Amino acid sequence: MSEAMEPGPVATGTGAGARRLTPGDLLKLAFVADPQISPDGATIAYVRTVTDGETHEYRSTIWLVPVTGGEGRPFTAGPKADSSPRWSPGGERLAFVSDRSGEKQLWLMERAGGEAYQLTTMRYGATGPVWSPDGRSLAFLSSGAPGDDAALLSRERTAKEKEDEEKARKDRPVTVTRLKYKADDSFGLLDGKYRHLWIVDVPPRSADPIARARPRQLTPGAFDVAEPVWAPDGHRLAFAANCLPDADRHPTVQDIHLVPAAGGETRRLTAGTGTFHAPAWSPDGSRLLCVGHHGEFGLATLDRLWSLEPDTGLLTCLTPDLDLSVGDQAIGDVRFGASATGPVWVEGGSAIIFSASRHGTTQLFRLTVAGGPVRQLTTGQHWIYGFTVDRAGGRAAVGLATPDSPGEVGSVDLAKASLETLTAVNAWLPREVWLARPEEFWFPGAGARPIQGWIMPPVGKAPGRRYPVVLEIHGGPHAMYGPAFFFEFQLLAAEGYGVVYTNPRGSHGYGQEFVHAVVDHYGEGDFADLMAAVDHVTGLDWVDAARLGVTGGSYGGYMTNWIVGHTHRFRAAVTQRSICNWLSFYGVSDIGYYFVERELGATPTSGPERLAQLSPLSYARDVTTPLLILHSEQDMRCPMEQAEQLFILLKALGKETELVRFPGSNHNLSRGGRPLLRVERLRRIIGWFHRYLGTVPGDYVLQEA
């Protein structure tokens, strides 16, 4: 510990724990995702991901829990990854995705249990199963290159074919002709394949379901399909995609499309100028819901709820007066796996349930289609990070994170607007470990604009003593912190640091004007808001204003770099997956060629001086704060060269700095990277702050959990 402390009163934590949190505790967490409520509303299927104690790799299984509470049970088992559970319309079986045969494929299993059987053998895997209304077919997504033979794509590769493809990939030069040719979630270059919509008939339980399954491809072409959904009559499917011929020049465009289930021409419904996704058919099939915007405020435009007529393309905004972004904008470091967040029709199509982000929390809301105000259903200091609704529209299953829980499955009675937690997969945490409780505060930012923040006192804070404080800055910048559990923050508090984190201008949760206020103004009002937060907390009697640290990732890393070049008030800084040079970022990031112009209002040709002015690299000579640089080697969002430029210049100038490179990792190391590397990242952060803010000399070695 940086200071010898007793745990102090239980009031500083959330339970009568026996020890402090350690980095290794991250390996003990179970990550809960994708809650899917059965059509009858009785059972919730969800994905539980844990770290294997021997291999230190992630292992995901599907669990079932009754909505009445009680013990859940594992639905699948094994050392591989099972995900995406989807109930059949009658609720008698579940489709899911598993890599137990090698590639990810669709599997089926009866609700009562038994042996799972494989449905697809796609060459490059199958994901995203969606049942047809009659339960006889499944739509799914699978990849292939334009022109690939459908029969070939329907056959799983042999080990020899995989080996040959990998060898060819390594040995063959790559010719680049596209503007967008790499992606962070691909850990590198795009491979020329696109994700397309397929349908496979579901045979009755038989001796050889694979032999009976004949997948057919609905959408060929050079575009990626997302979020397919069947029309109630089963004759059409809607999906989201960017099918523009010059899609790379319009990378944020996404349209809602229709395609006949029997095959045929795809028809675009929206205008090709906005961003629309999450389609959902009304029960009578006359309308589609979707979420999106026309890009009036660029990348800072709020998502709204829309009604779309499939026959005419008429698009009507249903939430014009809701000054919040529809959907989940919160961020954390203990989410793993996807969760459904799209809107859902209820009450025969007369009302809609959706989520929205407000003041650091994500809540459920209800909208009456005929008119009237939007009603917030859930309240409290939590993060609802996914939800589904039963067939009757009376109950929702939710993924739920709270200040002392990384995530559990919950149930919402939509009529009573009551929320109940059903699982206790991480109950050991507040029982065994002292946790800090975030305390909300508001303060005047630049121009007296009200800004929301939270501060977590160090675990064991004693009266009359002062402690170092670390400022955490979120990425985005259009994202949102909140009071829900954040492992990194809790670890800092356990090690004797106060933690302050805020939502400065540019964050979601406070309206359109607020989220847009940072655009074309990086390093101005946002910097002032963050410094005002520090001014506010240094007035607390337990804060040592002479021992301040700062850290953040992505945009938060950019702001960390900016801060140490513009103030000397911090004694230590850790910059993560950061940006230091907008001129080079434009060309090396997978989003740089459009992000820079839309967020900063300049390009290397239209405003090189402006980009240099906004680049922290330009202020390296003014840095006096010791700076640790953490970066992933396969980061395509904020590529490694950003860290290299910053490190080399600071080192050449004689500044105190170190660079740590994480192999085999991308921009999401802190959230979904390899478990042991995530732990090592936390150790490095703690060790740096101990070195410069604490009382432990040199590198600090933490005990294993």
Q: Give pLDDT tens digits for 483-504.
A: 999 999 999 999 999 999 999 9
β-strands 58-66, 43-51 pairing? antiparallel
Q: Residue 13's pLDDT is what?
A: 43
Cα separation, 211 vs 202, whole angstroms? 11
Mean pLDDT for each consecutive 10-residue tract of the chain (705 residues)? 36 58 97 97 97 95 93 89 97 96 94 91 97 98 94 89 87 93 91 96 71 86 97 98 96 98 97 97 98 98 98 96 96 84 95 97 96 94 96 96 95 96 95 95 95 97 95 98 97 97 98 98 98 97 97 99 99 99 98 98 98 99 99 98 99 99 97 97 98 63 38
Q: Catalytic one among 554, 578, 584, 615?
A: 554
What dihedral angle (degrees, nearest 10) is formed by the CA atoms of 456, 697, 681, 54? Answer: -110
- Provide the residue count of the chain: 705
What lies within 8 Å, CB to CB, of 167 at 6+ separation is none
Q: Is 670 considered catalytic here?
A: no
Cα separation, 131 vs 136, whole angstroms? 8
Q: What residues does each domain of the chain span?
A: 546-580+615-694
Please give the full DSSP string across 85-123, using - where no structure is assigned.
EEE-TTSSEEEEEE-TTSS-EEEEEETT----EE----T
Kindly state the DSSP code that residue 532 receives in the 8-state scheme: H
What lies within 8 Å, CB to CB, of 259 at 6+ separation is 197, 218, 219, 236, 237, 239, 265, 266, 267
Please give the full DSSP string across 632-690, using - where no structure is assigned.
ETT-SSS-HHHHHHHHHHHHHTT--EEEEEETT--TTHHHHS-HHHHHHHHHHHHHHHH
Residue 565 one-letter amino acid? G
Q: Residue 208's pLDDT is what?
A: 63
Helix (H, G, I), strand (E, B) or coil at 338: coil
User: Which two three-digit tokens encode residue 564?
Assistant: 């140490």
Helix (H, G, I), strand (E, B) or coil at 419: strand
Q: Is 554 considered catalytic here?
A: yes
CATH architecture assigned to 546-580+615-694? 3-Layer(aba) Sandwich (3.40)
Cα separation, 690 vs 672, whole angstroms? 26
Name the residue among 610, 594, 343, 332 with its Cα closest to residue 485. Answer: 332
Q: Residue 7's pLDDT is what?
A: 40
**pLDDT (tens digit, 9 = 90+) per residue, 28-66?**
999 999 999 999 999 999 999 999 999 999 999 999 999
Exposed/middle/buried for residue 207 (C-beta within 10 Å: 0-12, 13-18, 19+): exposed
User: Which two three-digit tokens encode residue 225?
Assistant: 């399909």
Cα separation, 327 vs 366, whole angstroms? 13
Cα separation, 223 vs 145, whole angstroms? 10
Residue 22 one-letter amino acid? T
What lies within 8 Å, CB to CB, of 217 at 6+ separation is 144, 150, 153, 196, 197, 198
Question: What's the predicted TM-score (pTM) here?
Answer: 0.95
Dump strand ranges (E) for 424-529: 439-444, 450-456, 467-473, 498-502
